[in-house]
Amino acid sequence: MRRPKVLVTHRQVQPVALERLQRECDVILPDVDFPTRANILDLCPGIDGLLWTSYKMKLDRDILQATGPNLKAVSLTMNGVDCVDLDELATRNIPLGHTPHIPNGAVADLAIGLMIAASNAIFSSREPDAHPCIQGSTVGIVGFGGIGELIAKRLQGFDVENFLYCGHSVKENAKKFNAQFVTREELLRRSDYVFIACPLTPDTLRMFNRDTFSIMKPTAVLVNVARGAIVDEGALVNALKSGKIRAAALDTVTTEPIPADSELFQLSNCVIIPHLGTATKKTRDQMALRAVDNLLAGMRGEAMPSQYFKRKTAN
């Protein structure tokens, strides 16, 4: 029986996951550590499975078509699916795996660290100003899914006075934290700290923009542990420079790695780290192993342990 042929798009995939994949498949790896789109396209023809490891490069129609007719499954080593042409996959009836829930704890931990760093100017040469402290504050969470819920859970020991959240619907688990479901506008107007913990979708693209920042408190701190493109960076720069908001802490930006000449680097009230939300060995090992399990199941025609199904939108 022929062993499946699988393309792993980057060499930096976790060794424990690569070893599992190699036991059952013939694995193709790029010859370089940082392959270009052209490198990956050259390796696509004839593969049975695709393990996609980069959210920065688009898994679009051209790449999917380059794989040919044998492609049976695609799996991501990440939770977010915004880098994928979902319509093309659906047209070809190819299942997509991802890694929900696994990174939530690590991302929530980092979110709290960013909140503290930005609030207290820990990494800044500026003097801490008189501002609302975390104790007694109002915290707003945009997207009360797994990560949003864990942010609220982590903050239980900080004596936060109010938790607000917004999103598609009321969340039953929010009751455990006395979190109130409000409109996005009310959340922005009332919150001292605003966490972005929602996925990047057409609806959330540049959700935080000039109009958004004009609603927020001038003492508010913005923390983004989701996707950079949810924030209009030009509008954020203006808001930070003009004092429309007090500070921002970013684990992610629109272009990664962030250009060295980005104006965000010049602002003393902006903390930036290089997308470290899942950067623990345990988390990344578990994500990569789940991605491999998804891929193997999909190629066998079985249900994936963590298969992505596109959310149905109301008419």
State the average pLDDT over residues 44-50: 98
Predicted pLDDT of residue 1: 73
With a cut of 90, say whether residue 183 has pLDDT above it.
yes
Structure tokens at 115: 């909140």
pLDDT over 90 (residue 108) = yes
275 is catalytic: yes
Separation between Cα atoms, residue 162 and residue 128, nearest integer Å: 24
Return d(Cα 273, Cα 248) in angstroms, integer: 11
User: Average pLDDT, stretch 136-160?
Assistant: 97
Query: Across residues 194-210, what is the average pLDDT?
Result: 96
- Given a cut of 50, is residue 127 above it in pLDDT? yes
- CA gyration radius for the chain? 21
Q: Where in the chain is the domain with CATH 3.40.50.720?
A: 5-101+280-308, 103-272
Per-residue confidence (pLDDT) for residue 313, from 0 to 100: 46
Name the pTM for this structure. 0.89
pLDDT of 314 higher than 50: no
Give the total residue count for the chain.
315
User: Which residue in the list 10, 98, 168, 275 is annotated as catalytic?
Assistant: 275
Class of domain 103-272: alpha beta
- Under 8 Å CB-to-CB from 294, ≥6 apart: which residues? 73, 75, 97, 98, 304, 305, 306, 307
CB 53, CB 269: distance < 8 Å: no
The CATH classification number of 5-101+280-308 equals 3.40.50.720
pLDDT value for 122: 62
